[in-house]
Chain A
Amino acid sequence: MGMASTFHGLELGKRGLYAQQSALNTTSHNITNVNTIGYSRQRAEMQATNAIPYPGMHGDKSPAQLGTGVEVNKLIRLREEFLDVQFRNEYKNLGYHEAKSGTFTRIEELLNEPSEDGLAHTMDEFWKGWQELVKNPDSAAVRSVVRQKGVAVAQTFNQIMDSLDQMQNDLQNIIKTKTEEVNSLASQISILNEQISRRIVNDYQPNDLLDQRDVLIDQLSKIVDIDVKNSSNGMVDISVGNGALVTGKTSNKLTIGFDQNSGLVDPAEIKIGGQTVDLGSGELLGNIESYGIMGGNRNSTIPYYKDKINELAMTFANAVNEVHLSGLNLDNISGVSNTKVEFFTGSSAKDLKVNPEIMKSLNLIAAAKDEGGGQSSKGNGELAQEIANIKFKDLNFTGTTSTADDFYRNIIGQLGIDSQESQRMQNNYEGIIKQVENRRQSVSGVSLDEEVANMIKFQQAYNAAARIVTSVDQCLDKVINGMGRVGL
């Protein structure tokens, strides 16, 4: 008659103690990592160990199997891969719109409209200066006011362009930093790939390394549009466009090239390992578009607005100059000289200024029109009136004819709409990201209540297993020390 081993019960109790202890350890690992970013909760998977035959009383056939206890055969990591995919698909859009709306907001702050200090107001003041000159064409005080208002307009244009240049400089640095970040993440991911594959080959489940790698991939997915594919031995391959950024244990470098002439980003020079790639979306592309990309048109944000401001400045200055040159200044009227000068000089909004000659002599401001024979009088303010009327005159802008005021208001309206749209998109994606992140947390996040309940459950099981050992010990004590001693 076969029986289980004498010490079977002790072994069984021991296994119970071990298994419950492992579960308790896993629980405390979860609790201590409750605030660890990217941590996925783990669970000790318990399984009954292989049973042994338990022969019957009347033969050696085995009518039953005797249980042998429990073991922890796996520490599993609770995570849904499709939620990661979803998260990363949305995260790049959040990154893109964050970068764009940041730029739009800064341009809005810079142009500072509608207000009493923006360009629109400065130009209004300029026209008003000429209106005053209509009434007092010979007054040095009024002439000096006209000159100062001209200086204010020119300086406002200069300052807008300088600030846009400064923004571009900042963005160029951001683009470089973000590129380095992509390369650093790619290299860290390839190193983790290597560590993970070594453990997987040896049949280990490297849960915490997988978490670390997922955190890095999440970060990367905000900067560029990535495609993540599982490869051998638990490794992942990551590509951007058709460029391989991470292939198993190796990574390639992302490089961004700037056009020599325009200084803008050349899309043909966005490369990974020598291969031109399309960034798709993400924070890096958002910053590149903000900074300016060749052939980007409206998507090339700062260059687009720079062009508009430039066009406004030069069309405005040329219109003023054209009328100004057709008139007579005080020196012409008094016969001191025949020289006529432009009111503004400069070739762009960046270097626009009031003619240095006028800065030297107020007499060179023309307010009068020819009264016949190239002569005029000091009290003639007809030209000043014509200049003041440029405010209402339709000027020729690229693809449109409108007043300078209208053209500028269109720029502001356009900016407002662009900015509003990108803020709305950013808000949307923040909401979506929040949803997906919640769902991911719902699967992978540590719940303290749950862990504490589990802790008590495992603790009780541990205590009970210990009782089993005690109980078997008492049985053995009876057999060893108590049997055959009748009457003693």
Chain B
Amino acid sequence: MGYRVTQTILNQNFLFNLQRSNKAMEKYQEQASSGKKINRPSDNPITAVHGMFYRSSLNEVEQFKRNTEDGHSWMNTTDEAMNEVNSVLQRVRELTVQGLNETNDPSALYAIGEEIKQLKEHLGEIANTQISGKYIFAGTDVKNPPYRTDPAVPGSPKEFRSTNEELIELQVGQTNYVQINTKGTDVFNNDGMGGIFKVLSDIESDFKSSNKITTDHLGKLDNQMDNILKERSELGARINRMELSMSRIDGIEISTTSLLSKEEDVDIAKVIIDLKAQENVQRAALSVGARIIQTSLVDFLR
């Protein structure tokens, strides 16, 4: 005897196929509603692992981006401060040239000396520039003003007393670091003997005392101005590097996002079409099912 087909076989096959069809519907619906091709690793282990990798990369990139932004603002603040230092020194140079002109009487020289003193205090304020509560010219000793009185000697004059030469570096790539601080000692105490402040206070005291001036103040001032220029150009180079990193990171972010999307995101048009096609299969299966389940010979016997 050949293969007998009974109502039970028809019913069971119908239920089995309907079940598979339901599973397929569920898969497409999950994809459509979550927007993701995979919702658990077994959906596609390779995609899952790639997806995890790109996600993690995006997290890194996000952090590097924040680092570049923070570093950039730190360096810009430093650059502005040094620009101001330069302006102050220009003004001091003008005053010094004026003071060295032999036509000045002692009171006029004294007045020039006083102005230079004020400018020196202003320079001190610049040396104590802060960014979000941190002194930018103090190395890693960010909580203490680098231009300060000596706490051990009461009443001592304010000097650039920070000796901290630590670098502050921010990570802008897995193996890429950029130094964001400029050493305060290099800017304000480049000779280790009092630097700019010493030059200014020497000029001040010479002018105020009306002694015959033997020191080459202009030469020393010019040296300091050269030094500032040198530090600024170094800083400028690092700012450039940081900006390059920023644009590189933006590029990586875009490409990683698109890789992640390619791995994980569904093609919505495709899913909707698949879902519709599956719906048709489902409807056909149900209507066939309705017929085979109802009918038997009994229906036709009267």
Residues of A within 8 A of B (CB): 34-35, 104-105, 108-109, 113-114, 120-121, 124-125, 127-128, 131-132, 134-136, 138, 368, 371, 376-382, 385, 388-389, 391-392, 405, 408-410, 412-413, 415-417, 419-420, 423, 430, 434, 437-439, 441-443, 445-450, 452-453, 456
Q: Which of B6, B138, B168, B170: most chain A CB closer than 10 A?
A: B6
**Stretch of B48-56, B103-111, B185-193 on the interface side:** B48-56
Q: Which residue of B7, B45, B141, B171 is within 8 Å of A131 (Cβ)? A: B171
What's the Cα separation between A218 and B168 when bound, in Å? 74
Question: Across the interface, which residues of A come within 8 angstroms of B12, CB to CB?
Answer: 434, 437-438, 441
Residues of A within 8 A of B8 (CB): 34-35, 441, 445-446
Docked-complex contact B49 and A138, CB < 8 angstroms: no
Q: Given that A114-B264, A392-B174, A447-B4 are known contacts, is A378 also in contact with B51, CB under 8 Å in the complex?
A: no
Question: Which chain A residues border B264 with CB–CB below 8 Å?
Answer: 114
Measured between C-beta atoms, what is the minimum distance from B62 to chain A in Å? 8
A-B contacts, 30 listed (Cβ < 8 Å): A35-B8, A104-B42, A105-B40, A114-B48, A114-B55, A124-B59, A128-B62, A131-B63, A134-B170, A136-B132, A371-B166, A377-B141, A378-B140, A378-B143, A379-B139, A385-B171, A389-B171, A405-B53, A405-B56, A412-B52, A413-B45, A416-B40, A420-B42, A441-B9, A441-B12, A442-B4, A443-B4, A445-B6, A448-B297, A452-B301
Q: A127 to B6: give the CA distance in the assembly, Å.
A: 65
Given contacts A381-B168, A447-B5, 5 further A-B contacts (CB under 8 A): A379-B139, A380-B140, A412-B49, A420-B45, A452-B298
B231 at the interface (CB under 8 A from A): no
Q: Which residues of B contact A377 (CB under 8 A)?
A: 139-143, 164, 166
A446 to B138 CA separation, bound complex (whole angstroms): 94
Q: Select A442's contact among B3, B63, B166, beta carbons within 8 Å.
A: B3
A-B contact count (CB 8 A): 170
A303 CB to nearest chain B CB (Å):
19
Q: Which of A105, A114, A430 contacts B51 (CB 8 A)?
A: A114
* List of B residues within 8 angstroms of A410 by Cβ: 49
B296 at the interface (CB under 8 A from A): yes
Q: Which of these, A114, A135, A438, A447, contacts B7 with CB under 8 Å?
A: A447
Please determine whether A413 and B42 come into contact, CB atoms closer than 8 angstroms: no
Q: Mark B122-135, 1 if CB is under 8 A from A, else 0.
A: 00000000001010
- Within 160-178 of B, Cβ neighbours of A (below 8 Å) are at 164, 166, 168-171, 174
Residues of chain B contacted by A442 (CB below 8 angstroms): 3-6, 9
Nearest CB on A from B284, distance (A): 20
Q: How many residues of B contact A (CB 8 A)?
A: 52
B67 at the interface (CB under 8 A from A): yes
In this complex, what residue of B is CB-closest to A446? B6
The answer on a CB contact under 8 Å between A368 and B52 is no
Assess the A391–B60 pair: CB atoms within 8 A. Answer: yes
Please name the 9 residue pairs, one residue from A and one from B, whose CB atoms are nearest each other, closest first.
A416-B41, A416-B45, A379-B142, A419-B42, A377-B140, A379-B140, A124-B59, A380-B140, A447-B6
Measured between alpha carbons, how far is A408 from B3 in the docked complex, in Å?
A: 53
Chain A residue with the shortest CB-CB distance to B5: A442
**Does residue B70 face the partner (Cβ distance < 8 Å to A)?**
yes
Nearest B residue (CB) for A405: B56
Query: Which of B140, B169, B297: most chain A CB closer than 10 A?
Result: B140
Name A413's contact: one of B16, B49, B132 (CB within 8 Å): B49
Are A378 and B141 closer than 8 Å at their CB atoms? yes
The answer to whether A120 and B56 have CB atoms under 8 Å apart is: yes
Q: What are the residues of chain A within 8 A of B170 when measuring CB–CB?
A: 134-135
**Chain A residue with the shortest CB-CB distance to B44:** A416
B13 part of interface (Cβ distance < 8 Å): yes
Q: Give B69-91 as 1s and 0s: 1 = Cβ < 8 Å from A's Cβ atoms.
A: 01000000000000000000000
Pairwise interchain contact A379-B134, C-beta atoms closer than 8 A: yes
Interface residues, chain B, with chain A CB atoms under 8 Å away: 3-9, 12-13, 16, 38, 40-46, 48-49, 51-53, 55-56, 59-60, 62-63, 66-67, 70, 132, 134, 138-143, 164, 166, 168-171, 174, 264, 296-298, 301
A456 contact set on B, CB distance < 8 A = 301
Chain A min CB distance to B232 (Å):
23
Q: In the assembled complex, which residues on chain B have CB atoms less than 8 Å from the CB atom of A412?
A: 41, 45, 48-49, 52
Chain A residue with Cβ nearest B17:
A434
Report Cα–Cα, A410/B138, bound state, in Å: 45
**Chain B residue at smallest Cβ distance from A128:** B63
Partner of A388, one of B6, B169, B171: B171
Is A124 a contact partner of B40 (Cβ separation < 8 A)?
Answer: no
Residues of B within 8 A of A127 (CB): 59-60, 63
- Residue contact B140 to A417, C-beta cutoff 8 Å: no
**Would A114 and B52 count as touching, CB distance under 8 A?**
yes
* Given the contacts A131-B171, A412-B49, A448-B7, A108 and B42 also touching, CB distance less than 8 Å: yes
* Residues on A with beta carbons closer than 8 Å to the beta carbon of B13: 434, 438
Min C-beta distance of B106 to chain A, whole Å: 46
Q: Which residue of B lies closest to A445 (CB)?
A: B6
Q: Which of A113, A392, A430 contacts B48 (CB 8 A)?
A: A113
Closest-CB distance, B50 to chain A (whole angstroms): 9
| Given A114-B55, A124-B56: A379 and B138 interface contact (C-beta under 8 Å) | yes
- What is the bound-complex CA distance between A354 and B67, given in angstroms? 26
CB-CB under 8 A from B164, the residues of chain A are: 371, 377
Chain B residues closer than 8 Å to A419, beta-carbon distance = 40-42
- Residues in B whose Cβ lies below 8 Å from that of A439: 3
Which of B49, B139, B297 neighbours the largest number of chain A CB atoms within 10 Å of its CB? B49
B59 neighbours in A (Cβ, 8 Å): 121, 124-125, 127-128
What are the residues of chain A within 8 A of B46 when measuring CB–CB? 413
- Residues of chain A contacted by B67 (CB below 8 angstroms): 131, 134-135
B-chain residues with CB within 8 Å of residue A124 when the two chains form the complex? 55-56, 59-60
Q: How far is the CB of B87 from chain A (nearest CB, A)?
A: 28
Q: Are B171 and A380 in contact (CB under 8 A)?
A: no
Q: How far is the CA of A125 from the CA of B297 in the complex (A)?
A: 69
Q: Which residues of B contact A134 (CB under 8 A)?
A: 67, 170-171
Q: Would you give the shortest CB distance from B278 to chain A, in whole angstroms? A: 17
In the bound complex, do residue B4 and residue A385 qualify as a contact, i.e. CB atoms below 8 Å apart?
no
Say whether B297 contacts A453, CB under 8 Å. yes
B38 → chain A closest CB, angstroms: 8
| Bound complex: CA A134 to CA B166 (Å) | 14
In whole angstroms, what is the CA distance A368 to B138 when docked?
A: 16
